[in-house]
Structure 1
Amino acid sequence: MKASMDDLYLFILTVRHGGISAAATAHGLQRSKVSRRLQELEKALHCQLLIRTTRHIELTENGRLLYQHISQPFTDVNHAINLLESQQNSFQGGLRLAVTVSFMSSPMFVEVLDTYARQFPLVRLELLHFQESIDLERENIDLQLLPNMVEIINHDYVQQAFLTSSNGLFASPAYLQQHSEPKTMVELQQHWLLASRHNATLLPEGTRLRLVSEDINMIQQMASLGQGIALLPNILMQESLLQGKLVQVLTDVNYSDIMMTLVYSSRRFLPEKTRAMVTLLHQKFAG
């Protein structure tokens, strides 16, 4: 019969609290159960460990020898457990996010990072460029943000849609002054187009593409400089429209919606600092 690790732990608690009743009370256990388990431990070890009196306990020679050799390892285990619990619940250390180039450069995402950094100044944000789904656990990545058309390699990972937006066509006022504004899709084919690699596939055959890039911010800037008409997510263009840098054209033309997916390895074991970022993303890109 082997000694149980649980019984060894109860033995340590009993010694540290100076008695069976005190140990049972401190840890919400029944005194009779603690007493019975200690008896089982002595039976397994074939020796007496405790001298029981009405008010307290004393260690036998074997009891002292056992306590000296096992108390520190259990202390180290408890310390490790406390560290893990603290790590899960604390807002410090690193938060690693894998993000596509196009989304990373968007002003709205920068606003999310700014809000998070102000709320949790002890968390170090680390951004990594990934266009495809990765093994988050092996790469030690907390969150990944991907377009919905990218297949997630691990179907056990949590996947949440956090941004849905239609696409629109945008040009600068200067560009529209120099070129006649297109009123039909046929007229659009007379203009240079700027688009992401995915959005470029939505355009009709024969479209003249001047720029294809994964960087939405780059496409937006090129459109602002009058280099063509850009196909971009409506939700990310609101600021440029308000500032008059861009004007939407062919507003009645509908393109496929885009959606971003938030991926993380476990909902159950999600650290609080990671949960806070998930919440901010949903709040910023709700709808």
Structure 2
Amino acid sequence: MNSITDLNDLRLFAEVVEHGSYTAAARNLGIQTSKLSRRIRALEEELGVRLLNRTSRSLSLTETGRQFHQHCLALVSEAKAAKDIVDRTLSKPQGTVRISCPVGLLESGVSAIISRYIQDNPDVQIRLDATNRRVDVVEEGLDFAIRVRLPPLEDTDLAVRQLGVSSQILVASPELAARHPVPSSIESLNDWPTLNMASSSERFVWNLVDAEGRATSWDHQPSLATDDLASLRVAAISGVGVALLPRELVDTDLRSGRLQHLLPNLASMPGIVHAIFPTRRGMVPAVRHLLDALVTGFEDMNRKR
């Protein structure tokens, strides 16, 4: 016997048995009675057995047909259950969302946004890869990856959604600031100890712009260089040196007085925080609503400044 190539025929057979006639089944399915009859005859020929006893007035199952019908019902039930899973997934946020985000962005407020989202959507499970490496959303099976880049964004075949902007500012502890004259320019920091993100070239440069958009660069030799923003923040609060840190990361420290904003007319060029994902087609609510929550979260952080 050849394998069955069209499982729809099993569903059609189950419909005929349920309705007791080709006419009633065809009416329910919205197809022609003659077409339905041909499909069932073709199924019997493919199987090499007779499933139905036909008379001018009624249909009845053969013994093989009765047993075969039980399996057809199981198949239809499983198909409906599979469809129900998809329908539920599309009806409200639920299921697993796999994302990637740089550690610094997580510490700068993204972690709090994700936590609130999980609390608001208890049927969603987040699988978060906290990494600074460049990930491949397609190869790694991610729903999306969060990145921050200076404009313009690079061309990509992937879908992109902007979530917000992020800039860095110069901060220092009140204790450190008290030991130095109030700086009036970036050059005024020559005698201050500094902190910086790690650099493979061992050259450490702050690239800043003023309120009018004029750019300036300043080379320095930091007391501490690391790729961990949290460690830089702790060192800055402890008075180890001046640090250039994301505004979102230090907002609470500035409000509490643990840190002071130095040279407020200078900041880094704003970076575009964005999500990249394979395609916009077929995006389930859990993913779409999480992206919406991230956009709203960045807007809230900007309003609180």
- 1:73 match: 75
- Helix, strand or coil for the counterpart of 1:127? strand
Deviates more, 1:234-243 or 1:221-230: 234-243
1:226 is aligned, of 239, 242, 252, to 239
How far does residue 169 in structure 1 lie from its aligned partner after superposition? 1.1
Relative to structure 1, the CA distance from residue 75 to residue 126 in structure 2 (aligned partners, 3 Å threshold; closer, same or farther) is same
**Separation (CA, whole Å) in 2 of partners of 1:164 and 1:121:** 28
Amino acid at match of 1:99: C
Tell me if 1:243 matches 2:256: yes
Q: Displacement, 1:72?
A: 2.9
- Would you say the 8 A contact 2:166–2:273 is kept in 1? no
When the two chains are superposed, the root-mean-square deviation of aligned CA atoms in Å is 3.6
Partner of 2:124: 123
Match of 1:253 among 249, 256, 266: 266
Alpha-carbon shift at residue 112 of structure 1 (Å): 0.8
Q: Which residue identity lines up with residue 37 of structure 2 in the other structure?
A: L
Q: Which residue of 1 aligns with 2:213?
A: none
**Counterpart-to-counterpart distance in 2, 1:40 and 1:235:** 65
1:97 aligns with 2:60: no
Take 1:269 and 1:123, find their aligned partners in 2: how far apart are those partners?
A: 17
| Structure 1 residue 164 displacement after superposition | 0.8
* Cα displacement string for residues 121-157 of structure 1 (whole angstroms, at most 9, x for unaligned residues): 34333332221232334434333222226xx999443
Quote the Cα distance in structure 1 between the aligned partners of 2:173 and 2:27. Answer: 74
Return closer, same or farther for 1:258/1:43 CA change in 2, 3 Å cut-off: closer
Q: What does residue 185 of structure 1 align with?
A: 186
Instruction: Please state how far the C-alpha of 1:282 moved relative to its aligned partner.
Output: 0.7
C-alpha separation between the residues in 2 aligned to 1:200 and 1:269? 44
Q: For 1:203-222, what per-residue CA distance to the aligned partner results, in whole angstroms no more than 9, with x for missing partners?
A: 43531222333333332222
Distance, in Å, in 2 between the alignment partners of 1:84 and 1:241 is 47
The aligned residue for residue 110 of structure 1 is 111
8 Å contact from structure 2 (residues 204, 220) kept in 1:
no
> 1:134-145 counterparts in 2 under 5 A?
134-145=135-146
Q: CA deviation at 1:256?
A: 1.7
Equivalent residue in structure 2 for 1:6, among 3, 8, 27: 8
User: Could you give the per-residue CA deviations for residues 176-203 of structure 1, whole angstroms, max 9, x where no partner exists?
Assistant: 1012222112212332222334895444
* Residues 271 and 213 (structure 1), Cα distance of their counterparts in 2 relative to 1, 3 Å cut: farther
The 3 A distance-change label for structure 1 pair 41 and 216 is same
How far apart, CA to CA, are the structure 2 residues paired with 1:280 and 1:37? 49
CA–CA separation in structure 1 for the residues paired with 2:245 and 2:270: 11
TM-score (norm 1): 0.79
Separation of aligned partners in 2, 1:136 and 1:185: 40
Alignment of 1:29-178 (within 5 A): 29-30=29-30, 32-33=31-32, 35-43=34-42, 45-46=44-45, 49=52, 51=54, 57-60=59-62, 63-64=65-66, 66-87=68-89, 89=91, 91-106=93-108, 108-148=109-149, 155-178=156-179
Within 2, Cα distance between the matches of 1:17 and 1:135? 52
- Correspondence list, 1:258-269, <5 A: 258-269=271-282
Instruction: Name the stretch that deviates more: 34-43 or 158-167.
Output: 34-43
Letter in 2 for 1:134: V
**1:93–1:124 Cα contact (<8 Å) kept:** yes
Q: 1:114–1:62: structure 2 CA closer, same or farther, 3 Å change rule?
A: closer
1:216 matched to 2:218? The reply is: no
Determine if contact 2:194/2:224 at 8 Å carries over to the other structure: yes
Question: Structure 1 residues 80, 233: CA separation in 2 closer, same or farther (over 3 Å shift)?
Answer: same
Worse-superposed segment, 12-21 or 123-132: 12-21
Equivalent residue, structure 1, for 2:212: none
When normalised by structure 2's length, the TM-score is 0.75
* CA drift at 1:99: 1.9
Give yes or no for contact 2:12–2:40 (8 Å, CA) kept in 1: no
Measure, in 2, the Cα distance between the counterparts of 1:95 and 1:105: 20
Mean CA deviation greater in 218-227 or 4-13: 4-13
Q: Identity across aligned pairs (percent)?
A: 23
Counterpart CA distance in 1 for 2:167 and 2:154 is 26
In 2, Cα distance between equivalents of 1:211 and 1:174:
18
The alignment status of 1:274 with 2:287, answered yes or no, reads: yes
Is the partner of 1:163 in helix, strand or coil?
strand
Shift of 1:45: 3.8
